[in-house]
């Protein structure tokens, strides 16, 4: 056995490190966390200073056994997990589970996987940073307490299986409040005036008015003046300008730029960056720092001067906005600037290229620009138009980072030149509320407000979508009429055009679940949902890591008032929590109709519930595009027309159209047949329903190869034929004909099939 055992988190990282360390070192992976706080009640003992109960991940038992064996025979054990809260906690858990001597166990950290970085780490070991571990434990405990005390409140008052999180719930609140701002926005109409002129040499010059006109009457008056006017160049204003490069990437800015430029989600960006780091191509990707090492700065200086020339180089340092306990020593950069392309696949290569360009550009000269504004005047009105252009005189850092827009070149003109108006257009613009968040802009907002950690944003955004509080997608918008005025050959024409107002693509918007839960938490757990409180918690975690505050005191300050709110929530009525709204009465029966939040989400209810003498209420899903807040009585009455009898199948079975939890369907003798657009449950005909039913019966027949009774069947699945009893599946070997399998063979296959492994569930940050 080698003298030295180095333990890291991932196999990929271990493989890269092995290339640099000699034969005296063996590098093994812990495969991430080896234990954590189990996801069950009572895992944190509040009475005993918030002592957590840790449970070893059952899936890691083999890994732990091997590490214990290797640790016993190694002269020195080196714990080489990442240098942040999670990495320090992994190192501490390893030392506890493997029963390592803290005096002889060495903790090493590095921010890039290179020969020099590893040698420096080996030469400068330290012990485990216990205050940093305490900060991670405090964060994990806080999240556990919020989840396991607040989530059951949501189960009782709103809907089962809902969850609350210290950071995720605040992130959802941001999206809900933005949506409410958009809904409350009052549309204002203005007109934008553009024109195209012709110079004496026939060259065209586009221009627009710097003024927005409030109504069609005002802009019509301007066009009338323009129809009779002569035009000339009033002024030509040319000013030099510069454009400077941005700082190198931090975790947050990398997620934002990868989203904007490459279309990557924050989660995908972090996964790709992790692989690039573990392969030794970039420095550690969880960092708030803008610093670059002297070695990296020197290498970039040499590279830029050699590849582009001395005039392209400009030395820069960037000041980090705030230092935190998780801040690494450097920004995200390539480990070797001369490697312009790295990565195991195209996605990694594109992200690496973005990091390389941003880092190199940060040490390059600014771009030199010339900005031109040409003012055009009319001889019979004070109204003016402007033509704007921008020309890049020296590309500087844009040579590697690329231009955000191409040069806008204007023709050569001078003051006093006369122009001929070719045409002018005035198009009505409808104002919109604030923009919905994209994943990138939500990351930026969270960082600016100090909510959570940039390293957790990817998982937070993924979680709020997977749990149904937020959706990412397109908003169809509503068709609106707008006015378009045109001046051409001295005549003004006015047309009404159709415009899709409110259309949005690839944006985050809250579901009804997200709105109801947010409103409930803001009203009854205001402190947990407070933006400043959430920010302050992050600062207090930093204080724990820096020995400025005690872990137990920080937890006490949060938990004691929080627990009182949980206890007081018992008096909250379910009707209040679910935002039950009376929208009117059914004209036919006189029964009240409510929009409310039910077990499976928002729904409509006709009739009262809970009274023995009252008839049993009926329910219907909310119409598409409506919410609890805005659904109308007319829409509700239409929704209650379902289920409707469509007709009969050829063999006499009744066909009933309805909308269920998973969308519209036709029900035939306990068989559910999905209704897909453009078909609609309100209008589907008997012939259309029959066609869907016949196709479904055929598909089910092809799926069922054999049925032996007692739930044992041979089926065609997505990945091939298999045997099932409804609880357990057994794969059928390729050489076996599934049609020839007997019941005895099927029972034997099921008995020999492995049980599904139990998942070790640990609460994520």
Instruction: State the Cα–Cα distance between residues 142 and 148, nearest whole angstrom.
Output: 10
Burial environment of residue 431 by CB neighbours within 10 A (0 to 12, 13 to 18, 19 or more)? exposed
DSSP string covering 607-670: S-SS-TTSPPPEEEEPPTT--TTT--HHHHHHHTT-SEEEEE-TTS-EEEEEEETTEEEEEETT
Cα 600 to Cα 23, 58, 514: the distances in Å are 59, 33, 13
Token pair of 746, please? 């099927």
Query: Within 13 Å of residue 300, how many CA atoms lie on the same side as its CB?
Result: 28
Reduced to 3 states, what is the DSSP secondary structure of residue 475?
A: strand
DSSP codes of every residue in 268-329: HHHHHHHHHHHTTSB--S--------HHHHHHHHHHHHHHH-GGGB-------S---TT--S
Tally the C-alpha atoms within 13 A of residue 105's C-alpha that lie toward its C-beta: 21
- Among 166, 185, 243, residue whose Cα is nearest residue 431: 185
50 is catalytic: no
How many CB atoms lie under 10 A from the CB of residue 199? 16
* Distance separating alpha carbons of residues 464 and 166, to the nearest angstrom: 12
- Among 422, 414, 423, 428, smallest CA distance to 376 is for 414
- CA distance linking residue 514 with residue 654, whole number of Å: 38
H or E stretch at 735:
none
Q: Hunting for tokens 């023709």 — which residue is that?
A: 411
Query: Is the peptide bond between 662 and the residue preceding it cis, with omega within 30 degrees of 0?
Result: no
- Nearest residue to 579 via CA among 564, 556, 596: 596
Helix (H) or strand (E) holding 83: none
Give the active site residue among 284, 308, 312, 722.
284
Give the CA-trace dihedral at 750, 752, 753, 756, to 10 degrees. Answer: 110
Task: Identify each DSSP E strand in 33-148 by its residue range.
Answer: 35-36, 44-45, 51-52, 55-56, 76-79, 106-107
Token pair belonging to 183: 């809904």
Q: Bridge-partner residues for 666, per DSSP? A: 657, 673
- Residues 7/76, Cβ–Cβ less than 8 Å: no
549 Cα distance to chain centroid: 33
Decide: 315 and 365 in contact? Cβ < 8 Å. no
Q: Which residues are catalytic?
A: 284
């Amino acid at each position: 056995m080698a003298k030295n055992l180095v333990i890291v988190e991932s196999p990929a990282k271990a493989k890269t490190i092995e290339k640099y360390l000699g034969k005296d070192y063996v590098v093994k992976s812990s495969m991430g966390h080896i234990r954590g706080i189990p996801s069950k009640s009572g895992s944190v003992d509040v009475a005993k200073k918030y002592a957590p109960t840790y449970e070893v991940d059952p899936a890691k038992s083999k890994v732990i056994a091997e590490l214990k064996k290797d640790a016993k025979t190694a002269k020195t054990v080196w714990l080489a997990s990442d240098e942040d809260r999670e990495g320090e906690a992994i190192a501490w858990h390893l030392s506890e589970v493997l029963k390592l001597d803290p005096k002889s166990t060495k903790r090493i950290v590095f921010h890039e996987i290179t020969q020099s970085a590893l040698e420096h780490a080996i030469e400068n070991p330290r012990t485990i940073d216990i205050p940093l571990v305490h900060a991670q434990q405090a964060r994990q405990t806080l999240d556990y307490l919020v989840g396991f005390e607040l989530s059951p409140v949501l189960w009782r008052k709103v809907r089962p299986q809902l969850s609350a999180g210290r950071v995720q719930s605040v992130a959802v609140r941001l999206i809900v409040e933005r949506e409410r701002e958009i809904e409350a926005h009052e549309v204002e109409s203005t007109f934008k005036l553009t024109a195209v002129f012709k110079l004496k040499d026939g060259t065209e010059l586009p221009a627009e008015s710097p003024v927005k006109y409030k109504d069609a009457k005002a802009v019509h008056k301007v066009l009338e003046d323009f129809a009779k006017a002569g035009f000339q160049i009033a002024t030509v204003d040319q000013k030099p300008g510069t454009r400077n490069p941005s700082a190198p990437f931090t975790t947050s800015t990398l997620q934002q730029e990868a989203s904007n430029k490459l279309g990557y989600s924050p989660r995908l960006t972090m996964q790709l960056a992790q692989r690039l780091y573990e392969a030794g191509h970039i420095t550690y990707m969880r960092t708030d720092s803008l610093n670059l090492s002297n070695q990296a700065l020197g290498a970039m200086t040499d590279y830029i001067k050699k590849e582009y020339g001395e005039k392209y180089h400009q030395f820069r340092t960037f000041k980090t906005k705030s230092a935190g306990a998780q801040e690494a020593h450097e920004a995200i950069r390539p480990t070797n600037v001369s490697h312009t392309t790295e990565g195991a696949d195209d996605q990694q290569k594109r992200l690496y290229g973005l990091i390389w360009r941003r880092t190199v550009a940060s040490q390059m000269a600014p771009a030199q620009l010339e900005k031109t504004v040409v003012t055009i005047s009319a001889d019979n009105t004070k109204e003016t138009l402007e033509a704007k252009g921008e020309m890049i005189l020296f590309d500087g850092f844009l040579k590697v980072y690329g231009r955000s827009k191409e040069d806008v070149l204007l023709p050569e003109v001078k003051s006093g030149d006369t122009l001929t108006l070719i045409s002018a257009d005035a198009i009505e613009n409808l104002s919109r509320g604030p923009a919905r968040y994209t994943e990138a802009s939500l990351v930026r907002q969270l960082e600016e407000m100090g909510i959570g950690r940039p390293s957790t944003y990817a998982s937070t955004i993924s979680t709020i979508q997977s749990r149904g509080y937020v959706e990412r997608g397109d908003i169809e918008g509503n068709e609106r009429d707008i006015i378009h005025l045109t001046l051409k050959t001295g005549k003004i024409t006015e047309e009404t055009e159709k415009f899709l107002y409110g259309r949005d693509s690839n944006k985050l918007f809250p579901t009804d679940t997200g709105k109801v839960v947010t409103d409930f938490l803001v009203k009854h757990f205001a402190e947990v949902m407070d933006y400043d409180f959430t920010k302050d918690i992050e600062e207090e975690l930093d204080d724990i890591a820096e020995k400025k505050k005690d872990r137990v005191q920080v937890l006490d300050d949060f938990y004691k008032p929080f627990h009182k709110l949980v206890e007081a929530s018992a008096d909250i009525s379910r009707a209040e929590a679910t935002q039950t709204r009376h929208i009117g009465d059914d004209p036919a029966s006189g029964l009240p109709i409510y929009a409310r939040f039910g077990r499976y989400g928002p729904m409509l209810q006709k009739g009262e519930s809970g009274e023995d003498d009252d008839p049993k209420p009926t329910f219907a899903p909310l119409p598409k595009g409506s919410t609890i807040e805005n659904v109308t009585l007319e829409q509700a009455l239409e929704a209650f027309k379902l289920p409707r009898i469509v007709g009969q199948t050829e063999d006499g079975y009744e066909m009933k159209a309805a909308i269920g939890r998973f969308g519209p369907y036709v029900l035939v003798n306990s068989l559910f047949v999905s209704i897909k657009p453009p078909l609609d449950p309100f209008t589907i005909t008997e012939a259309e329903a029959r066609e869907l039913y016949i196709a479904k019966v055929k598909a089910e027949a092809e799926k069922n190869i054999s049925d032996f009774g007692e739930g044992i069947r041979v089926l065609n699945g997505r990945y091939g034929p298999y045997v099932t009893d409804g609880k357990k599946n057994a794969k059928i070997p390729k050489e076996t004909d599934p049609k020839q399998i007997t019941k005895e063979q099927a029972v034997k296959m099921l008995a020999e099939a492995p049980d599904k492994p139990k998942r070790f569930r640990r609460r994520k940050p």
